[in-house]
Amino acid sequence: MRGYVDDQTWMRGRIEALPGPWQRRLESKWRGMYGRSIFDANTFLRKQTDALAAVRIPIDASDDEICGAAQALALRCAELATRRHDAQALRQAMEKVVERQGIEPPADKVRTGPAIARMACELWWRRKLRRHHGRAVEASAIALGIVNKRAEIYCSNETLRRRQKQNTRNAAALEATIARNELGQEYTLAELAAKGPANKAIKRAELMTRIAGFERIARDMGHAGLFLTITCPSRMHPWRTVGGWKVEQNPRYDNETTPRTAQAYLAKVWARIRAQLHRIGSKLYGFRIAEPQHDGTPHWHLLVFHKPEHADAIRASVTKHALRDSPNEPGAHAHRVDFRVIDWEKGSAAGYIAKYVAKNIDGYRVEADLHGNPAMETSARVEAWATTWGIRQFQQVGGPPVGPWRELRRIEALPSGAPDHLIKAHNAVNRLAVIEGREHASVAWDHYCHAQGGVFCGRDYRVRLSQVQDAGLNRYGEEAAPRTVGVETVGIEHYTPEHMKHMRQAPQIPRAVLWEVESTRYKWEIVGRAPAHGMGAIAAAKLAPWTRVNNCTEGGSHGDRINEGAPCAMRERLPERGGHGQKPTGPIHAAHASIHGAGSGPDRAGDNRAREHSHEPCRPQFGGAPWQQ
């Protein structure tokens, strides 16, 4: 028959463009399925190779190659402006370039100018390509059966290595960059980042402080504690465990679900539960932890506290919505939801959940996980899994927000006459007193909750973040986001009007007064980049500044600066105000400004986080590479 190709030849043709290890994995998987069903085997191979081809970047590409692709694509989008002079037509042309890479273009709600600036920005392309590439590779690894407790648990070794390299690059960049504040103090960005929640030890300690505070509130108010676990339906699990140790492919797996879609399913289930409980007046507070099962599928652990009379309603609501999908599958009622009532006489609820917190952060004081793997390795794999799929591991349920708590820690002293609840909240976060005879009891989340109006305050909490709107624009030509400068609250004070002071019993009339208290903040300036191992390009490059953090520059005449480390050694003129408040002349100007490095960034120690990109000199463009098609 003319045009007929046998299955073996067809299979070889589908995988020949892939790296050797992936060819062997796909061929092995295809042969294993071929004996059972030719149609299923060929369909699986076609879907997997199509998904990998949609990435347009080799699946074994290094980060340098991804950065090179980002640079080439950003320049390609910027060059479209030379042929299309209508903004809307230019945006549509850029969106086609983005979609051909398998990436979602900026949403329709984004204005045309900022959308064009994004698609012409190398940093935007880096983020998008890294995310898309990482998820596509990991999704293929899951489909090939690489991710399970008998092979590579939680995530593939390739994803783990990529994340470890990224962390190494970020740490080197932070360690090599020196910042100075207005007091003349100099620190590396690594030292500044270590003082905030980016430090794993601080993150873990803060989480445990908040959990323990909720537990103290529950004990004092006579509330009940409940530890529950919600898992996904069987169709979302690529693998299943038989007999407690044997791992085999799950025949009910839909071959479509990824950890990200499974996380979205769990979030939807929880949203329905919260909505139903809100309608009946049942309120919860506590914490939710998302962690992977051995095959990468997420499940949720929740430690919540509630009024004892609502226990049955909570159980019924959780069971109803957790079993809404595939309720009749074998084992659904036994394994989909698990409830464990906290017995206050047997121990601490915070102690019970501490192992889950530590296992998902740094493995502190946890020797091994449930599968016998070392805790340090487990925490690294879990972190790589969460980062790759964009899964938020920890989420507070109920109670006041943590933002004002962190901001209050920046305030050394309150002004005289401050409202009582503001004083109590400040005392709760700054160790100003010894409460209950314990050294750190004053750093108490429960006292902070009481000061904010109680654990059921909802959105009516008293102490809020005070923010100001800067006049400048961000790198994409949009209005800059509000900047936090302190806290604010409303207090009630009593006063006597002038025309009533002559009265024998002068009345005291209450009035609301807005209190705004500024926090201690520093303006940081990048003063140098010390040489570090593997960071020669960063140390040598004179890079463009972040917003509110300016590089020490060596300017030529008329304020021009040559950015030797930037692509193509481009020249740029420094604005008189360091880039703030200077509006772009048009969308293309904004796009080129974003490529040349006019960006936004932190202006304080607590928010100096590692950038997920490295500043590197101009790379050669790769002729004939998939991303240039």
pLDDT on residue 598: 36
- Name the class of domain 198-393: alpha beta
Mean pLDDT, to the nearest integer, of 6-17? 89
Beta strand ranges found along 293-408 (DSSP E): 298-306, 337-341, 394-397
Tell me how far apart the 2 most distant CA atoms of the chain are, in Å. 113
In the predicted structure, residue 293 carries a pLDDT above the cut 70: yes
pLDDT digits (tens, 9 = 90+) for 133-151: 999 889 988 888 889 888 8
The residue with tokens 């698609």 is 119
Cβ-Cβ contacts under 8 Å for 227 (sequence gap 6 or more): 301, 302, 303, 339, 340, 341, 342, 349, 352, 353
What mean pLDDT value characterizes the chain? 81
Cβ-Cβ contacts under 8 Å for 620 (sequence gap 6 or more): 68
Sign of the four-CA dihedral 117, 118, 120, 122 = positive
The CA R_g of the chain, rounded to the nearest whole Å, is 28
In the predicted structure, residue 173 carries a pLDDT above the cut 70: yes
pLDDT digits (tens, 9 = 90+) for 497-551: 888 888 888 888 899 999 999 999 888 899 887 654 444 433 333 344 444 443 4
Alpha-carbon distance of 94 to 565, in angstroms, equals 26
In the predicted structure, residue 97 carries a pLDDT above the cut 60: yes
Mean pLDDT, to the nearest integer, of 40-61? 84
In the predicted structure, residue 583 carries a pLDDT above the cut 90: no
In the predicted structure, residue 594 carries a pLDDT above the cut 50: no
pLDDT on residue 613: 38
pLDDT digits (tens, 9 = 90+) for 347-401: 888 887 888 888 888 777 676 666 667 777 888 999 999 999 999 999 999 999 9
pLDDT on residue 562: 31
In the predicted structure, residue 493 carries a pLDDT above the cut 70: yes
Rounded-to-10 torsion of CA 430, 435, 211, 384: 40
pLDDT-based confidence at 609, cuts 50/70/90?
Answer: very low
pLDDT digits (tens, 9 = 90+) for 308-359: 999 999 999 999 999 999 999 988 998 899 999 999 888 888 887 888 888 8
Judged by average pLDDT, the poorest of 100-114, 273-287, 501-515, 606-620 is 606-620
Mean pLDDT, to the nearest integer, of 203-208? 90
pLDDT on residue 547: 42
**What's the half-sphere exposure (Cβ side, CA atoms, 13 Å) at 101?**
29
3-state DSSP call for residue 187? strand
pLDDT on residue 370: 64
Alpha-carbon distance of 513 to 527, in angstroms, equals 42
Residue 352 is among the residues annotated as catalytic for this protein: yes
Sign of the four-CA dihedral 254, 256, 259, 262 = negative
Residue spans of the domains in the chain: they are: 7-54, 198-393, 402-500+507-518
pLDDT-based confidence at 616, cuts 50/70/90?
Answer: very low
Q: Which one is predicted more confidently, 196 or 130? A: 130
Q: Which one is predicted more confidently, 48 or 271? A: 271
* Residue 448 Ramachandran class (φ > 0 left, ψ -120 to 50 alpha, else beta): alpha
Look at strands 177-180 and 525-529 and give their pairing: antiparallel
Q: Which pTM does this prediction carry?
A: 0.78
Sign of the four-CA dihedral 556, 561, 565, 568 = negative
Q: Which one is predicted more confidently, 540 or 120? A: 120
pLDDT on residue 243: 74
Beta strand ranges found along 416-559 (DSSP E): 464-468, 483-495, 509-518, 525-529
Q: Which long-range contacts (CB under 8 A, 24 or more apart) does 581-584 make?
A: 581/471, 581/472, 581/473, 582/472, 582/473, 583/473, 583/477, 584/113, 584/117, 584/473, 584/477
pLDDT on residue 342: 92
Q: Which long-range contacts (CB under 8 A, 24 or more apart) does 272-279 make?
A: 272/321, 272/324, 273/317, 273/318, 273/321, 276/317, 276/320, 276/321, 277/310, 277/313, 277/314, 277/317
The residue with tokens 């652990």 is 301
Query: For residue 183, with 0-12 CB atoms within 10 Å meaning exposed, 13-18 middle and 19 or more buried, which class applies?
Result: exposed
Alpha-carbon distance of 138 to 178, in angstroms, equals 36
In the predicted structure, residue 606 carries a pLDDT above the cut 50: no
Cβ-Cβ contacts under 8 Å for 66 (sequence gap 6 or more): 57, 126, 129, 130, 133
Question: Catalytic pick from 34, 154, 187, 356?
Answer: 356
Mean pLDDT, to the nearest integer, of 251-267? 93
Type of residue numbered 399:
G
Query: For residue 539, with 0-12 CB atoms within 10 Å meaning exposed, 13-18 middle and 19 or more buried, which class applies?
Result: middle
Q: Which one is predicted more confidently, 589 or 118? A: 118
